[in-house]
Amino acid sequence: GCSVSMPFKEAVIPYLDKLDPLAKSVGAVNTVLNVDGILKGFNTDVIAAIKSLKAIGFNKEDRVLLLGAGGVAKAILGALKMNGANEIYIANRTEARLEKLKKISDFSAVSWIKRTEFTADVIINATSVGMHPSKNISPMPISSLEECKAVIDVVVSPYRSKIIEEAANMKKITFPGYKLSLEQA
């Protein structure tokens, strides 16, 4: 088997013979198992996202701002739905990608430009913004973190992304990408 990383979590699906029900429900795969020549796709990102929500003390009344609309965003949206999230807002750099997420759960769209003015209890970065080599970039300015209680980031390199560093310095609850990676493994 193998692990699948961004940006291939959706693109790999046509090459697989079977999908686990969880992977099928979110339309993304991060793990492929070869069992006697049959390639089956799984999504353990959903499990990791559920664990991250538990770790930050997520409450279904929390207002969530999810950044991104790719494969890992699909898994996180699925986890939010499973946890009964009532207020989900999603911002993506290209709004056309948001349509794919409507199959998973209801949410409200926030324009990428307006995301910095949006107030949320939980901010989840499911983009590559802040990933090496652009490690000095944060998907949200520090001022946008003031009202939130927690930040979850999918970026694993660097070990502690800029958004996680900024949130930690502000005494916010953080769940960095390396922990998500550990949980999905």
- Active centre residues (catalytic): 9
Lay out the sheet containing 173-175: strands in order across: 108-109, 87-91, 63-67, 122-125, 150-153, 173-175
C-alpha separations of 154 from 61, 122, 139, 149, 179 in Å: 23, 14, 12, 17, 9
Contact 9, 76 (CB under 8 A): no
**DSSP secondary structure of 123-171:** EEE-SSTT-TTSTT--SS-HHHHTT-SEEEE---SSSS-HHHHHHHHTT
C-alpha separations of 71 from 47, 56, 57, 101 in Å: 14, 22, 24, 10
